A and B are shown apart, each in its own frame.
Chain A
Amino acid sequence: MFRSDQVNTLPADRIVILQAAILLLFIIIFLRLWYFQVYKGDVYAQKAQANITRIQSIHAPRGLIRDRNGNILADNRPAYGLAMIRENSADVQATLQQVSDWTDVPTSKLSDRFEQGRDKVRSFEPLLLVPNLTFDQLAYIEARIHNWPDLNIITRPLRTYPYGAPFSHVLGYVAQANEKELRANPRLTLGDMIGKQGVEKTFEDILHGQKGRKHLQVNAQGRILHSSITQPPQPGSNLDLTLDCELQQFVWESLGDHAGAVVVMEPVTGKIRALVSKPGYDNNLFVRGLSMEKWEDLLHDPSHPLQNRLIQSAYPPGSVFKLAVAGCALARSEITTSTSFYCSGRYRLGNGLFRCWRRYGHGRLEMKEAIARSCDVYFYNLGEELGISKIHSFCTQAGFGQKTGIRLPNEQAGLIPSKEWKLRRFGQPWQGGESVITAIGQGYTTSTPLQVARFISALVNGGRLLQPLLQHDASPRVQNSLPLQDAHREFIRQAMIHTVEGKRGTARRLRLPGATIGAKTGTAQVVRLTKKHEDKETEEIPYKFRDHAWMAAFGQQGDASYVVVTLVEHGGHGSSAAGPIVKGIFEYLLDPEEAG
């Protein structure tokens, strides 16, 4: 048992150490609690509030795109997507598996989306996994989603293009912003749709609108208890185009199976009535997210459906270009309207021999007849007389080789060659023969159908080079004036009318009683024909070697005035391939019966 000394040596005075320890503990913890709960309580209460209040953005519907008559060309319909709120997820893999089972989207793809969204979407915000559910999927999932608190069905406005392909190149399409676009524009979040092509792209700022914000209060399961809109979304503004929906469809139909391009323009205002490039594509496919295979198919389709032939393809303008050369000759040389040349069917320059399209020649003719019958030899003479420098400077002022400024992406400028250009490009001096073939719109010269339409409009409207307009309420914008006297311009206009009305004009088939129609045909050589093909009719030549057929025309009746430029790829001769299409369009636009 205990010895008494053990009891007596109990360190009783040491108790004070323990008491001090308790006191110290109390004071420190007390102060710390006071600091957090009383002094800084408000701050932490706010932080806690932020924890349970989730902010969601509300997608703003995109502005509608309408034609001049109010027909809706680009609409919005509700689309249902499946999104995940990461924070509510107990097992991400299980959820992704379930989503895959529901939607048939492979889990690997869902995983990719999930990983991609990880650093872009905050953990309590919905991360879009499947952007578009079919109605069947929606109904099926709706009935089962309550077991998955981390999954949300979200509704977004989805772009639809009710008319599809005929409008595909003008309207373009919207699609989800890619990585680069997201980086460039901090206002965008993953899954946001932006204009990628056409009007949708160039008028993105007008159409896009502003996202709204919604505050959600959630419980432990992430279920929404209360929601309030703190900032309503601002829908994008509507965009009224100058296009005529019915005309556009009519033009599309009248091109038939041909690949080609047609522009219908008001020469006085510069407004575009129709802008057709065929073949097109279904722009709705892009909105829903194009599969890789489908995209590859479109990209490598030999008929290039993604190419907007009106502005992105520069073709040799062929004989259509003779109008500009004629103007140049009148404005910049001694040549007058009554200057005549003899056409024997061939033209010699140095060692070179240049042929007229009409093998046996046209005989002696003046300029008006030369335009109407599209005599090559006459223009070879002009080319030699003028030289490339004058042609280059005049045609550049007439808008060739320069973008038209139509508000569509990726417009090409085309090319009017010059001595400097050739030296720069090929390191070789300009040859006289090259001026000669430039004068008939061959050689290096290329232009887009829209440039031609702008030029023809200027001939008709008093010499004003107008910016082609797509916005209905835009006012005409003069870019330049044709460097032509009124008399000369009127002469060329009359020559175009003569091409239609004249006994031997190349566009006789455009005649329309009661209306004034003027035109110029063109045949643009795709390749220099080999001897083998030279004498053959169009139908006998393999498709890809056939020439492109041009028809640049204007039609007037009373106050109504239109310029129609048509290019049929590999269509052969301008008159036969493009003529009927242009005639049909004028029949549609003008009303010959009533006037007659």
Chain B
Amino acid sequence: MSPFDRRLFTHLNWTLLLWSLALFGLGVMNLYSASSLRGEGGMTTYSFYQKQMLWGLFGMGGLIICSSFDYRHLRSLAWPLYWVSLGLLLTVLLTGESIYGASRWIDLGLFHFQPTELAKLSCLLLTALLLTRTPTLLAWSSLGRIMALILLPVGLIIVQPDLGSGLNILLLAGGMMFYHGIRPRVFWTLSLAAIALMPLGWFGLQDYQKERILTFLNPETDPLGAGYNILQSQIAIGSGQTWGKGFLEGTQSQLRFLPEKHTDFVFAVFGEEWGFAGTILLLILFCLFLYQIIMVIQDSKDRFGHYLAVGVFFYFFWQIAINMGMVLGLLPVVGIPLPFLSYGGTSTLINFCFLGLALNVSMRRFVFKTD
């Protein structure tokens, strides 16, 4: 094996990298606006955007690592990673530190590690592996097996409680399976069962989760409480109107009417300052980004790589869809960040790692031919 194959570079999907870097750049710029003038009570200004840039650097490191090795080695890693992440999730549940009332972190001294993120990766890998080995449309048995394996970590994540991440994994795996194909009878039976079971699922939710769904259905009932975020984010976005208020001119986000504006609600800040013109551009950029992942899927030359890229696609797709849907009042508020735009260390790192996987697949689409 040659020490370095120049084709790795030429085959790399540079457009995908470009779009994602553009999104990250917009994200940092937007965070600069969201975190500026954040002086509260004469206290220190907190610069999220600088930290975010630092996380971006870490992310690039993760991207390089995740794209440097041959992704096919991940096939053998899928099962061990799955069990490790399951173990960590259990550990976190039993001993994890409680932050904001949720135990999601393991203190590694240097930083807090979120096993949830590892679970996302391992579930993606495992689903890809299992689908790779299933040549036919999914029947009850094969679908049930994958679902059982996915629901194990998802259940552990939801009880943390982190509904957003749990949902993310579930939808990611679901998307992959749907993409693979499910037998029609199985599909319809499942769909009907899901609808029928929805009321039952309601009782399994935490009180605050129920509240979120109720306020989603009618945010005006509690304009200062749970409905506050939704209303304020809609005011911020709507008041941007066609052309926006301009960079750093967003009054709603600047004035602290908009909480969590640097994490799950960054899109509202963007929408206020750049208006319809800006949000549509951002939307197009996201679509182009997703489209490039499709290109990776299309060009992939082996089933595992193919499904890996499909997983990456759904990973991003659902985050974008849920986050925007939530900020725009189409979905209940669940804590899901907007890829590359939301502030957050772990999510930025993981986003770049997943991107690295997609690039990995794109880089090595022709490699095997020369071996």
Question: Once the chains bind, are B235 and A1 in contact (CB under 8 Å)?
Answer: no
Is B255 in contact with A51, judged by CB distance below 8 angstroms?
A: yes
- Taking a contact as CB atoms under 8 Å apart, the answer to whether B294 and A44 are in contact is no
Q: Return the contact of A45 from the options B239, B297, B329 (Cβ within 8 A).
A: B239
Known contacts A11-B180, A33-B328, A220 near B255 by CB under 8 Å: yes
Residues of chain B lying within 8 A (CB to CB) of residue A1: 368, 371
Known: A7-B302, A34-B276. A221 touches B39 (CB 8 A): yes
B297 touches A37 (CB 8 A): no
Q: Kindly specify which of B40-48, B145-153, B348-356 makes contact with the partner chain.
A: B40-48
CB of B11 within 8 Å of the partner chain: no
Bound-state CA distance A414–B302 (Å) is 108
Known: A18-B313, A221-B39. A38 touches B242 (CB 8 A): yes
Mask for B244-261, Cβ within 8 A of A = 1, else 0? 000000011011110000
Min CB distance, A89 to chain B, in Å?
7
Tell whether, in the assembled complex, residue B287 and residue A15 are in contact, meaning their CB atoms are under 8 Å apart. no
Q: Are A36 and B328 in contact (CB under 8 A)?
A: yes
Verify A32–B294 contact, CB threshold 8 A: no
Contact call B239/A18, Cβ cutoff below 8 A: no
What CA separation (Å) do A16 and B14 show in the bound complex? Answer: 23
Closest A residue to B253 by CB, please name it. Answer: A220
Complex contacts, A147 vs chain B, CB 8 Å? 41-42
State whether the Cβ of B236 lies closer than 8 Å to any Cβ in chain A: yes
CB distance from B347 to the nearest CB of A (A): 20
Specify the chain A residue showing the minimal Cβ separation from B295.
A15
Q: A44 and B41 in contact (CB under 8 A), knowing A32-B330, A33-B279, A33-B328?
A: no
Q: Is A154 an interface residue (CB 8 A)?
A: no
Kindly state the separation between the CA atoms of A590 and B371 in the bound complex, as whole angstroms.
130
Near B by CB (< 8 A), chain A positions 18-58 give 18-19, 21-22, 25-26, 28-30, 32-34, 36-38, 40-45, 47-49, 51-52
Please name the 6 residue pairs, one residue from A and one from B, whose CB atoms are nearest each other, closest first: A44-B238, A48-B239, A90-B41, A41-B241, A37-B276, A36-B238
Q: Does B308 make an interface contact (CB < 8 A)?
A: no
Q: What chain A residues lie within 8 Å of B140 (beta carbons)?
A: none
Q: Once bound together, how far apart are the Cα atoms of A34 and B276, in whole Å?
A: 7
Would you give the 0/1 interface string for B203-224, flagging 1 where the beta carbon is closer than 8 Å to chain A?
0000000000000000000000
* Complex contact A41–B271 (CB within 8 A): no
Contact B238 A45 (CB under 8 A): yes
For A95, the chain B residues whose CB sits under 8 A away are 41
Residues of B with C-beta under 8 A to A48: 235-236, 238-239, 251-252, 272
Q: Which residues of A contact B37 (CB under 8 A)?
A: 219-221
Identify which of B42, B237, B294, B297 contacts A33 (C-beta below 8 A). Answer: B237
Q: Which residues of A are found within 8 Å of B294, using beta-carbon distances?
A: 15, 18-19, 22
Instruction: List the B side residues contacting A219 at CB < 8 Å.
Output: 37, 254-255
The answer on a CB contact under 8 Å between B255 and A18 is no
Q: Is the CB of B317 within 8 A of A21?
A: yes
How far, in angstroms, from A52 to B320 measured CA to CA in the complex?
A: 30
Q: Which of B40, B300, B330 has the most CB of A within 10 A?
A: B40
Known: A26-B283, A36-B328, A146-B42. 5 other contacts (CB 8 A): A12-B298, A19-B291, A26-B287, A32-B330, A48-B252
Asked whether any CB of chain B lies closer than 8 Å to the CB of A136, the reply is: no
